[in-house]
Copies of this chain bind each other. A is one copy, B any other.
């Protein structure tokens, strides 16, 4: 493993980039990190991801891998190690993939609209965001009853895919003008948030709520001014 060259091209507030961080860190893989400036992307990024020209990109021994869930899947194949992210059982694996994908299709989508939109669309985004979290609470109760993670006692593919959104909760509530239901209503979700936040490598990789909030507020000002 020591001869491997591993490099992550990223932009720190990206929930997609955090997935890759988490996966590498949970596996204990050493890597170089390159922070990208979105208005001025590096030649390396543009060449490594010509289709989307987006972070995150993992470059492993010169080969670029793009799209966060594809990267996490790749990491799990190359470094299975002691912490396997994708379950061996085909049905459990499908369930983990389904909820990881739910993060993109519902949670990211609603969060993104919350930050960009105004008026009715903004209100709708808040509702959609809360709905998505409610579904995650329900799913945790069904898939891993009594356990903290989608993966049971340890984070799996779904946990890694969904966990990055946690550091946006504070800003989403502020921007959306709502307060999320508490642990009495969403016990599984809050137990999961606590469990994720107490994993050492997650603590190290995750930017603070305040830093994310400040970034997202600046982003919202810019996006709504441009609209």
Return the chain B residue nearest A88 by Cβ. Answer: B77
Query: Contact at B101–A77, with CB atoms within 8 Å?
Result: no
A54 CB to closest chain B CB, in angstroms? 11
**With A51-B135, A91-B65, A135-B51 given, is the CB distance from A98 to B78 under 8 Å?**
no
Query: Contact at A70–B98, with CB atoms within 8 Å?
Result: yes
Residue of A91, A106, A135 with most chain B CB atoms under a 10 A cut-off? A91
Interface of chain A, main secondary structure: helix
Query: Contact at A90–B77, with CB atoms within 8 Å?
Result: yes
Query: Contact at B90–A78, with CB atoms within 8 Å?
Result: yes
Residues in B whose Cβ lies below 8 Å from that of A51: 102, 106, 135
Residues in B whose Cβ lies below 8 Å from that of A65: 91, 94, 98
Number of identical protomers: 2
Residues in B whose Cβ lies below 8 Å from that of A78: 90
Return the chain B residue nearest A139 by Cβ. Answer: B51
Give Cα A69 to B94, complex, Å: 10
Cβ of A147 under 8 Å from chain B: no
Query: Contact at A74–B93, with CB atoms within 8 Å?
Result: yes
Cβ of A67 under 8 Å from chain B: yes
Give Cα A70 to B99, complex, Å: 10
Return the chain B residue nearest A90 by Cβ. Answer: B77
Residues in B whose Cβ lies below 8 Å from that of A168: none
Give Cα A60 to B93, complex, Å: 14
Cβ of A73 under 8 Å from chain B: yes
Cβ of A71 under 8 Å from chain B: yes
Residues in B whose Cβ lies below 8 Å from that of A98: 65-67, 70
The B-contacting residues of A in range 57-72, CB under 8 angstroms, are 60, 63, 65-67, 69-71
Cβ of A97 under 8 Å from chain B: yes
A132 CB to closest chain B CB, in angstroms? 10
